[in-house]
């Protein structure tokens, strides 16, 4: 993306990978909102070479859910890209059908890599957050707002159903979202064996956005 002329901002949500603060699902949403606020209200945009009036949100996995939720509440974005977005509400509904004792065990497996990587969070605390707030993180809640935006959704054939945005895509298509681009790659959740194809898909989509940088 940088070689194609874009300024790219990446960051770790609070509490993740050594960044300060406590990790939680809802904190991730607030982190992105705070970044957008700072870009528009401080000199941060100038120092980073960002035009706050030409922004694209992009996220992978839970970052995709976060990007969709924030984009649905943000005016003036050039576009939003969701890469294998995790629909937390889908996972919550699946766990809700399990016996209580099995829910906890399933959550421990699901969040196996949380300990030591996400400050203040454990598999059980994340499980509790999914069960408490999961419905508010439903991707389809974003559909109405996203029909008015340019949206890219990239999913993987060999991924969990909760990461395929099936309900969101069905809703967007039923709403005749004219600016929806969707593709599925024959890969896994991390697109490990299709990274170049993923890059090409994203770059082609970015080049179609109004105000996109000229090809170098």
In the chain, domain spans: 25-89+140-207
In the prediction, which pLDDT does 115 show? 87
β partners of residue 81 = 58, 152
In the prediction, which pLDDT does 216 show? 60
Strand-strand pairing, 151-156 and 56-60: unpaired
The CATH architecture of the domain made up of 25-89+140-207 is: 3-Layer(aba) Sandwich (3.40)
Q: To which H or E segment does residue 104 belong? A: helix 100-110
In the prediction, which pLDDT does 41 show? 87
One digit per residue, the tens of pLDDT, for the chain of length 216 reads 999 999 999 999 999 988 999 999 999 999 999 999 999 888 899 999 999 999 999 999 999 999 999 999 999 999 999 999 999 999 999 999 999 889 989 999 999 989 889 999 999 999 999 999 999 999 999 999 999 999 999 999 999 999 999 999 999 999 999 999 999 999 999 999 999 999 999 999 999 999 999 876
Q: Distances in Å between the alpha carbon of 53 and those of 4, 67, 74, 210?
A: 19, 17, 12, 12
pTM assigned to the model: 0.95
In the prediction, which pLDDT does 42 show? 85
In the prediction, which pLDDT does 104 show? 85
Instruction: Quote the CA–CA distance of 115 and 95 in Å, as a whole number.
Output: 21
Q: Find out whether 156 and 128 touch, Cβ atoms under 8 Å.
A: no
Task: Pick the closest to residue 137 from 53, 46, 24, 25 (CA basis).
Answer: 25
In the prediction, which pLDDT does 116 show? 86
3-state secondary structure of 57: strand
Instruction: Count CA atoms within 13 Å of residue 206 on its CB side.
Output: 25
Given phi > 0 = left and psi -120 to 50 = alpha, else beta, which region is 165?
left
Instruction: Quote the CA–CA distance of 19 and 64 in Å, as a whole number.
Output: 20
* Phi, psi dihedrals of residue 206, rounded to the nearest 5°: -60, -35
């Amino acid at each position: 993306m940088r070689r194609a002329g874009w300024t790219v901002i990446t960051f770790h949500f609070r509490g993740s990978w050594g960044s300060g603060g406590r990790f939680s699902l809802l904190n991730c949403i607030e982190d992105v909102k705070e970044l957008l606020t700072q870009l528009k209200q401080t000199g941060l945009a100038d120092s980073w070479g960002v035009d706050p009036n030409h922004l694209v949100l992009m996220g992978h996995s839970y970052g995709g859910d976060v990007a969709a939720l924030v984009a649905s509440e943000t005016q003036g974005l050039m576009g939003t890209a969701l890469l294998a977005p995790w629909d937390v509400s889908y996972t919550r509904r699946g766990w809700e059908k399990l016996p209580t004792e099995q829910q906890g065990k399933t959550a421990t497996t699901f969040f196996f890599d949380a300990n030591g990587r996400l400050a203040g969070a454990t598999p059980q605390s994340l499980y509790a957050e999914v069960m408490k707030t999961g419905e508010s993180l439903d991707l389809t809640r974003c559909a109405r707002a996203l029909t008015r935006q340019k949206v890219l959704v990239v999913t993987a054939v060999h991924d969990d159903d909760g990461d395929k945005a099936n309900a969101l895509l069905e809703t967007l298509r039923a709403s005749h979202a004219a600016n929806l681009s969707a593709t599925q790659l024959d890969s896994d959740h991390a697109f490990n064996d299709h990274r170049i194809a993923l890059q090409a898909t994203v770059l082609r989509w970015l080049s179609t956005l109004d105000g996109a940088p000229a090809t170098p």
